[in-house]
Structure 1
Amino acid sequence: MTSTHEQWDIVSGVGMTALAVAAARAIESHRDDRLINDPYAEGLVAAARSPALAEMENSSAEMLETMSGYLGVRTRFFDEYFLRAAAGGVQQAVILASGLDTRAFRLNWPEGLRVFEIDQPKVLQFKDETLDRIGAQPGSDRRVVPVDLRDDWASALDTAGFDASLPTAWLAEGLLPYLPAEAEAQLLATIDRFSAPGSRISIEHMTGPREEYVSDELRNLALEWGMDLQALFSTDERPDPGEVLAGRGWNVRREPTNEITAGYGRALPGLGERFAELGCMITAFREK
């Protein structure tokens, strides 16, 4: 499928955000009080050989350490979401804008469960080549779907073997701030259309005006990585995703991120605390 949108690899555009998140997961995995253990994150970061990443690690190590705490909380929450979904009979998982996510490899999935990863072709190619080189083996029936979420990703997902008659667990982690309002609306409508009874979705959602997401501190941090977050983030007004799903008949639950953080016994200073205060995790379930 040919996209009319800008394409990026792992060291440019939104691909750099995936690399930053992997670096944070690697840091979290080395903590004595770690909330997750990602044995592949460090290898993925090293394989990227990003000069911006090396500069960032040298000049802003403390800030990266701070953000790793928040991302550790976020990753743990969604890990548990997927494991609960699998235990509850879900037979497919779809990770939207999967980036350098390694859940298909590191979580204990039931035999035969399909995990679909949707992202830019070059991002998935880099991940596949790197994980293959270090000998990583998926613990699921993993299917990659190399397509831009602003294009016809539903057809690509269908081609990859997705079965809309089966209950599915969807994940939108660190995704919605980058989508224009129209693309977000289309995304939620497609998920609704493709979700059989017993399906569920979990979403990382930032509340309040979108301009508040990008503080001066975060903007400067991102610029050190070569990313202009103001250009990457979409500030279009749009309805709350939980309200959209509720309007389509889904049962919606909201959990403030700072309460999730406290439940894990984690303190988040600086930027991590700001993200936790602004955010909530939305989980929705379709009964019929």
Structure 2
Amino acid sequence: MTDLDTVGQTALGVAYVRAYESRLPNPLFTDPIATAIFDENAAPPIIGDASKPDSVEGLSDDDERKLMYYWIVGRTVFLDDVCALAAKQGVKQYVILGSGLDARAFRLDLGEGAVVYEVDRPDVADAKESIIDEHSLTPRNERRVVRTDLTDDWLRALEDTGFRADLPTCWIVEGVLVYLDDDVVSRVIEGIAGATEQGSHLGVTLRGHHNAGIDDSAFAPIRELWHDNPGIPKEFARSGWNCTLSDNRTILGAHGRRVASTPVSATLLGGVWRGIEAHR
């Protein structure tokens, strides 16, 4: 995966965190793709300070690596919960936009007949398939890979792979909108709304703002690629979603992981489809 551009390689950083979490005595999740990529002695593939800490707990509360670690872990379990609720209510379609190295098709039991659509650029998708094949990983749910960029006609590509807009869907948009221009973000939100049926669920991660004084130099090259779009929650609401915002610290605490260093800004958006007509 070293041939990927900077945005593509951010998936490796996320996978490293998930591999680290998977090997803890009481992990909040276990990720077979992440652990296949990174063994327990692997150094984190971050840009900037790539030193490997002995443990996350050993880092100071204002260490950007610790903040990033808990942000990724928190958003992972939050979106897992969104999927679990959708599965409990009988949703059979799960669409992961900008899926990267996401392993939910392998980790989660989404029920009989569930299909997971993984949407990402061809280079990222191909790299992921190589890892899956190399390690003979078997998904727990049917998965369909949709090779397309969100700047292209991704919805048509999704439908060509068997997605049905007339069925309830669980949409997962994790760590991707921050890399898109505002007009592309708006088109993605509109595309989701146009392909959503009653009974659908939504999980989205938003850009957070860090506490003053925190040294973020380790991730500065990545942050330079981020876009600031504080209007995303309102855009989703206008498009037909009942939205609720949550903060990372609360989510981690609900799962028994109490941490002091996690920012409390509301960066996790969950939604249930109400329909545009109801909003009008």
TM class by smaller structure: 0.7 to 0.9
Question: What is the percent sequence identity of the aligned residues?
Answer: 31
Secondary structure at the residue paired with 2:178? helix
Counterpart for residue 73 of structure 1:
74
Residues paired across the two proteins, number: 265
Counterpart for residue 20 of structure 1:
13
Moved more, 172-181 or 61-70: 61-70
- Once the two structures are TM-superposed, the CA of residue 57 in structure 1 deviates from its matched residue by 5.3
Counterpart for residue 5 of structure 1:
none
Tell me, in whole angstroms, the C-alpha distance in 2 between the residues paired with 1:10 and 1:100.
15
More helix by share: 1
**One-letter amino acid matched to 1:246:** A
Q: 2:238 aligned to 247, 251, 257, which one? A: 247
CA-based RMSD: 2.8
**Is the 2:82–2:202 contact (alpha carbons within 8 Å) kept by the matching residues of 1?**
no
Q: Deviations over 1:236-279 (max 9, x none)?
A: x552x222222233222222222212222323355xx13xx233
| 1:133 lines up with 2:134 in the alignment | yes
Alpha carbons of structure 1 residues 91 and 161: separation in structure 2 relative to 1, 3 Å: same
Alpha carbons of structure 1 residues 52 and 165: separation in structure 2 relative to 1, 3 Å: closer
**One-letter amino acid matched to 2:268:** M
Alpha carbons of structure 1 residues 34 and 248: separation in structure 2 relative to 1, 3 Å: same
Moved more, 118-127 or 51-60: 51-60
Counterpart for residue 86 of structure 1:
87
Counterpart for residue 278 of structure 1:
265
- Once the two structures are TM-superposed, the CA of residue 25 in structure 1 deviates from its matched residue by 0.2
Q: Deviations over 1:109-136 (max 9, x none)?
A: 2122110001111111111111112111
Counterpart for residue 123 of structure 1:
124
Structure 1: 4+ residue segments shifted above 4 A: 8-11, 49-57, 59-66, 212-216
Q: Deviations over 1:40-65 (max 9, x none)?
A: 3121246xx99956996545565656
Alpha carbons of structure 1 residues 24 and 128: separation in structure 2 relative to 1, 3 Å: same
**Is the 1:170–1:200 contact (alpha carbons within 8 Å) kept by the matching residues of 2?**
yes
Alpha carbons of structure 1 residues 54 and 132: separation in structure 2 relative to 1, 3 Å: farther
Counterpart for residue 218 of structure 2:
221
**One-letter amino acid matched to 1:217:** D
Alpha carbons of structure 1 residues 114 and 9: separation in structure 2 relative to 1, 3 Å: farther
Tell me, in whole angstroms, the C-alpha distance in 2 between the residues paired with 1:50 and 1:193.
43
Q: What TM-score results when the alignment is normalised by the length of structure 2?
A: 0.84
Structure 1: segments with no counterpart, 5+ residues: 1-7
Tell me, in whole angstroms, the C-alpha distance in 1 between the residues paired with 2:98 and 2:211.
19
Q: What TM-score results when the alignment is normalised by the length of structure 1?
A: 0.82
